[in-house]
Amino acid sequence: MSLTRRGLLAGAAVGGGLLVAWSFVPRHYDPPLPAGRDEYSFDAWLKIASDGVVTVAIPQIEMGQGITTLLAQIVAMELGADWRQIAVEPAPISGAYPNLALAARWSPLWRPPIAALTDEPDDWLVRRWAEQTRFSVTADGMSLPAYEMPCREAAALSRAMLTKAAAKRWDVDWLECEARGGFILHGDKRLSFAELAEEAAAIAPPNPPPLRAEAPSDPSDPLELEERTAFPRLDLPSKVDGSFLFAGDIRVPDLVFAAIRHGPVTEAQLSSFDIKDAAGRSGLVGVVQGNRWLAAVANSWWAAEKALDQMAPRFTVPNPIDSGRIERTLDQAVKQGTAQRIYTRGEGDESLGEPSLSFRYDVAPAVHGTIETASATARLLDGKLELWIATQAPDHARRAAAKALGMSPADVVLYPMPAGGSFDRRLDYAHAVEVALIARETGRPVQLTWSRWQEQLTLHPRAPVAAQMSVKLDAEGAIKTLLARAALPATVREFGARLFDDRTDWDAMAEVAGVADPMALEGLTPAYAIPNVAVDHVPASIGLPTGRLRGNAHGYTAFFMESLIDEVAALSRREPLSFRMQMLGEDPRLAECLQRAARLGGWGGGGDNSGQGLACHHMGTLETGGRIALVADVQIGEGGLDVKRMSAAVDIGRIINRDIALQQIEGGLIYGLGLALGSATGYERGLPTNGRLADFALPTLSGTPEIQIELIASDADPFDPGELSVAPVAPALANALYSATGLRLRRLPLHTGEV
């Protein structure tokens, strides 16, 4: 059973407006966006002030992807507001803002009792669960699918209320009026939103919402984009002048600062420390001990950090993680482990027999490389806990802090802060628990900041993988059968056990041991028209807790698939572009991306040591989703690999903000470059072998290649460009390296055979 009718109204909001929420059974909420002085709330999404400023609630964390601008733009265009009068405000944790698209996508992780009722975002069970759990997690590029329509509907209802207020003054039919530029117009008459806000907030909105005929899309002229964009980013001026506040910028009265030491991965226990060595240190306020961490609190973070150095905490580490053991486990699993089939097309691998070609690919653990390390501020006062924190999972962080202190979640107030680039790192929220405990023990407001080493020590890297890709070719050299066999932990299910079941790292790994995880191999189902396909997961228990990272499984599955396609083309003496085009009859949008990328990048066939490499990738369903094709140009010189240019053609459906889309694609390509050439770590005695940003071979400004991007016009549903653009970089570079040198690298990162 599904609910397809939207717009059920539930509950009255401040100022006489209505709070827009939808459910199988109408639910009542306190107004999540309360009106301030001379402000009028129209619904859960927006309020209008007497000076005409329209404030839009943003229920997703801003981490550089521009969501604060995108959702505000959708409201402004549907409402007919003046962009210069738009403001944004982080939405409080509330059931009025459920991320239904992500809840449906992640339903295998929260394991609903009736799985058949959780296939789509508008299924009633998804809605009820997401509302009840206040699920507003920011991840997997689901912000637009989840929130575009609720924003449009809220704005349409508010526009109708404003229009009715104006029509009543003029004694005309409200349907004859128009909203544009922050005014309601009728012939030569006009009234501003500011003049109408108080009256309009008391008017009952129509049902259903009177949406505009055209969905929001960017009106900017692509040829003039460098000079002018119709909807410039709202957060850009404050980020340029330094007034934009991140979690580490919070200051409250009587604030003290905490530094922390964690034990090695993963079941380390704090065994001893020398508190007498730091007892007399100037500025030290106190010391707080956890099961596997030790924190020092002082009048400055540096004083706390140096106190920890003096105390020299020591940990007991049973079965410490080691890269050699991880690689041996994966090697044995991919060769001999018991596989579980997660996808079959046609006859699967029944006709594979002795493969015509079979190649092994390996991926090392990859780390996020966030600029901003974990930071949170906590204040415990009169039985209430306040948290200032950047988190992609706000209600989970709030509940975890409440549980640690034995409080009700209702007594925890979380102020969502932006992240300076998260790349899914802030889906983890251990620092919320730590800072809450430190604040309780210290008796003062505390700001906890992890050092870079602590950030690297505690993160959950993208899972390492060993994959065997085998094909059977027909007489013409076309792929008849494909078997993809990949050994890796059930990394997404492990993450789900931590997030939804509050499991520790080791309990989560034990819970999902031996379990197949289709989400861990997303992207390995080929867009190509290969008649017989089988994808097998060999669950491997490696002892290393793993997690989410920008691009997620697509970051390695695209590497496997597109490297394989190039290898088959080379051994069949087929030109890589035409070989791919032959197999894309069922995905004309991806075929168009390939053709356009080839033109944009001056594709010359990839032969004659040209240093050109090609790759393409598709995320989502065939009917929807996003597509990208990439041509990479490289040179090999005395300094090693030099990536000269990346040329991408991208189809992300209807484009809401072209400038932000280009920023996200360019950023994703550069991030993918970092993953292809670095961003990896090994482990020795439970400790990461790379602990500084300088260790990860990240692209520098001077080392960033020329980037060309062509956005393909489309009426399809919008698709997130930031995740998509990560995927094709590694295979395009690997294919370019083969073109330049004749050497085929089958391990990520590409610049070395070992981490």
* Count of other CB atoms within 10 angstroms of residue 571: 12
CB-count exposure of residue 729 (10 Å: 0-12, 13-18, 19+): buried
DSSP string across 84-139: GGEEEEEPPS-TTS--HHHHHHTHHHH--SSGGGGSSTTBHHHHHHHHHTT-----
Question: What are the φ and ψ backbone dihedral angles of 528, each rounded to 5 degrees?
Answer: -70, 150
- Number of helices and strands in the chain (H, E): 20, 30
Distance CA 505, CA 509 (A): 6
Q: 564 by DSSP, 3-state: which?
A: helix
Handedness of CA 19, 25, 28, 34 (dihedral sign): negative
Burial state string for 546-569 with b = 16 or more CB within 10 A and e = fewer than 16: bbbbbbbbbbbbbbbbbbbbbbbb
Q: How many CA atoms lie within 13 A of 194 on its CB side?
A: 10
Q: Is the pLDDT score of 5 beyond 90?
A: no
pLDDT tens digit sequence for 587-639: 999 999 999 999 999 999 988 889 999 999 999 988 889 999 999 999 998 77
Q: Cα 202 to chain center, whole Å?
A: 39
* CB neighbour list of residue 520: distance below 8 Å, 6 or more residues apart: 463, 488, 489, 490, 491, 492, 493, 537, 553
Q: Are strands 747-748 and 357-363 parallel, antiparallel or unpaired?
A: parallel
Q: Is 456 left (phi over 0), alpha (psi -120 to 50) or beta?
A: alpha
pLDDT tens digit sequence for 43-99: 899 999 999 999 999 999 999 999 999 999 999 999 999 999 999 999 999 999 999
What is the average pLDDT value for the chain, to the nearest integer? 93
Residue 25 pLDDT class (50, 70, 90 cuts): very low
Q: Is the pLDDT score of 161 beyond 50?
A: yes
What stretches of 428-519 show up as alpha helix (H) in DSSP?
430-442, 452-458, 491-501, 505-512
Cα angle: 336, vertex 340, 341; to 5 degrees: 120
Q: 586 by DSSP, 3-state: which?
A: coil
End-to-end Cα distance, the chain: 50
Closest CA to 421 of 377, 366, 368, 375: 368
Q: Work out the average pLDDT over 718-730.
A: 97
Question: What does the DSSP 8-state code read for residue 452?
Answer: H
Residue with the two structure tokens 């889906």: 427
Q: Are strands 39-41 and 46-49 parallel, antiparallel or unpaired?
A: antiparallel
Q: Work out the average pLDDT over 718-723.
A: 95
Q: How do the domains of the chain map onto residue ranges?
A: 9-224, 248-317+374-449, 337-366+462-748
Fold match between 9-224 and 337-366+462-748? yes
Closest CA to 64 of 418, 455, 425, 424: 418
Q: Is the pLDDT score of 3 beyond 70?
A: no
Choose the weakest-confidence range: 27-36, 130-139, 202-211, 443-452: 27-36
Look at residue 279 in the predicted model and tell me its pLDDT: 81
Give the whole-number percent of the chain exceeding pLDDT 90. Answer: 87
Q: Is the pLDDT score of 30 beyond 90?
A: no
Question: What are the φ and ψ backbone dihedral angles of 473, each rounded to 5 degrees?
Answer: -100, 150
pLDDT tens digit sequence for 75-85: 999 999 999 99
* Count of other CB atoms within 10 angstroms of residue 77: 23
Residue with the two structure tokens 């020329």: 706
pLDDT tens digit sequence for 483-512: 999 999 999 999 999 999 999 999 999 999
Q: Are 339 and 538 in contact (CB under 8 A)?
A: yes
Residue with the two structure tokens 């390492």: 464
pLDDT tens digit sequence for 428-441: 999 999 999 999 99
The Cα-based distances of 450 to 373, 389, 595 in angstroms read 6, 13, 47
Look at residue 8 in the predicted model and tell me its pLDDT: 25
Q: Are strands 706-711 and 640-651 parallel, antiparallel or unpaired?
A: parallel
Distance CA 69, CA 237 (A): 12
Distance CA 533, CA 484 (A): 8
**CATH match for 9-224 among 3.30.365.10, 2.60.40.420, 3.40.50.2000, 3.40.630.40:** 3.30.365.10
Look at residue 278 in the predicted model and tell me its pLDDT: 84
pLDDT tens digit sequence for 225-252: 556 788 999 999 999 999 999 999 999 9
Strand partners, 629: 616, 649
Look at residue 28 in the predicted model and tell me its pLDDT: 53
Distance CA 192, CA 169 (A): 13
Q: Is the pLDDT score of 15 beyond 70?
A: no
CATH of domain 248-317+374-449: 3.30.365.10
pLDDT tens digit sequence for 291-334: 999 999 999 999 999 999 999 999 999 989 999 999 999 999 99
Q: 267 by DSSP, 3-state: which?
A: coil
* Count of other CB atoms within 10 angstroms of residue 320: 17
Q: Is the pLDDT score of 473 beyond 70?
A: yes
What stretches of 187-298 show up as alpha helix (H) in DSSP?
193-201, 236-241
H/E segment holding residue 598: helix 588-600
Residue 41 pLDDT class (50, 70, 90 cuts): very high
Look at residue 12 in the predicted model and tell me its pLDDT: 28
Distance CA 99, CA 145 (A): 9
Closest CA to 648 of 701, 590, 562: 590
Look at residue 227 in the predicted model and tell me its pLDDT: 62
Look at residue 229 in the predicted model and tell me its pLDDT: 86
Cα angle: 376, vertex 380, 386; to 5 degrees: 50
Look at residue 346 in the predicted model and tell me its pLDDT: 98
Give the whole-number percent of the chain exceeding pLDDT 70. Answer: 95
Distance CA 40, CA 16 (A): 8
pLDDT tens digit sequence for 544-569: 999 999 999 999 999 999 999 999 99
CATH class, 337-366+462-748 region:
alpha beta
Look at residue 173 in the predicted model and tell me its pLDDT: 97
* Position 134, amino acid: R
Distance CA 551, CA 726 (A): 6
Strand partners, 339: none
Q: Is the pLDDT score of 176 beyond 70?
A: yes
* Count of other CB atoms within 10 angstroms of residue 167: 18
